Amino acid sequence: MQFLFRAGLFFLAMVGSYIGSLKFQSPNPADLLVGGAIIVVCVIVLFLFTRNLWKFLGCFATLGLVAALIGGMVLLVSGSNMVENVTALFTNKGKTAEEAQPALPSQPVNPQTGMPQQAAQPVLQGNVSKILAGDRFVVNGMPVRLYGIAAPVAGQSCTDAHNRAYDCGYVSARRLQEIIGSDSVSCKIMNQNNQGELMAACSVSSFDLGAVMVEAGWAIALPNITPIYVPYEQKARQNKAGLWEGQFQTPWEWQAQQRQIQERASKIQVPKVSLPTKKRKSIFDNL
């Protein structure tokens, strides 16, 4: 009877460890905390289960063995998702390439929303007359760029899950067009960049365009500007949605690569080759 009880206890501990590991796949802080609590309880239960090993390995060595066993299960089940989600929970940092992106002029930030604090944010409302990219469009003749996100530029090439190239800049822009449709947009203007574009958080009805585009996978979050869109990007990564289905470069990486290609092409010199001239006939040719 005691054997069955101990076997059942071991089984429940392992099942609990698996459930706790699944919680680490979610970027939700509440799920991460619940998963961590479950893992701690399972470590304690297994530690008590293996008390017969205490006299051979010692108390701390047994605890380390149990922790390593459950930690291995967590890494096996959650893998890189756990590392990304836990890191994002404490640091709100994105991938390395995103840290190299050009930053906008610094402004005081509201810690609750991640948006710049302004005494009065001007609002631009109207219909979109032209879509320029997955994060850029024209409203009432004014160029607007969505604040806190970045989408592929026009003509940018990406690869899908089958390693086939496609124009992801066009697909991203088309997705934004489908979301907006013929509806009016409302944009809270944050600032203006060096290109004269209005940086704004825009919405259609109750939908934040930046959040919708990032969650659909056709734009990426810019955490060094605002962390508000990071959870939407994590969800898109997990679902392998949009750009995350295949391989892609950030817009600034792709543009830098294109400039390098153009510079190398401009330095290539093609040697001039003279064409052979036709020999003129002479009166002696018929002799």
Q: Give the torsion through C-alpha atoms of 171, 177, 178, 181, to 10 deg.
A: -170
Same domain, yes or no, for 87 and 127? no
The count of domains in the chain is 2
What would the pLDDT profile of 149-199 be if each residue is shown by its tens digit?
999 998 999 999 999 999 999 999 999 999 999 999 999 999 999 999 999
- State residue 7's pLDDT score: 63
Same domain, yes or no, for 84 and 127? no
Residue owning tokens 């013929």: 182
As given in the structure block, the two tokens for residue 111 are: 């810690």
When the pLDDT of each residue in the chain is averaged and rounded to a whole number, the result is 76
The highest-confidence range among 7-11, 84-88, 245-249, 265-269, by mean pLDDT, is: 245-249
Same domain, yes or no, for 238 and 190? yes
- State residue 264's pLDDT score: 81
- 0.75 surpassed by pTM: no
Q: Are 103 and 225 in contact (CB under 8 A)?
A: yes
Other C-beta atoms within 10 Å of 37: how many? 12
- Residue 187, in any domain of the structure: yes
Q: Within 100-191, where are the H helices?
A: 168-180
Coil, strand or helix at 143: strand
- State residue 267's pLDDT score: 74
Q: Which domain holds residue 224?
A: 123-261
**Running DSSP on this structure, what letter comes out for residue 18?**
H
- Residue 285, in any domain of the structure: no
- Residue 104, in any domain of the structure: no
Same domain, yes or no, for 129 and 240? yes
Q: What confidence category does residue 266 fall into, taking pLDDT thresholds of 50, 70 and 90? A: confident
Same domain, yes or no, for 80 and 127? no
What would the pLDDT profile of 214-225 be if each residue is shown by its tens digit?
999 999 999 999
Residue owning tokens 């605002």: 226
- State residue 102's pLDDT score: 42
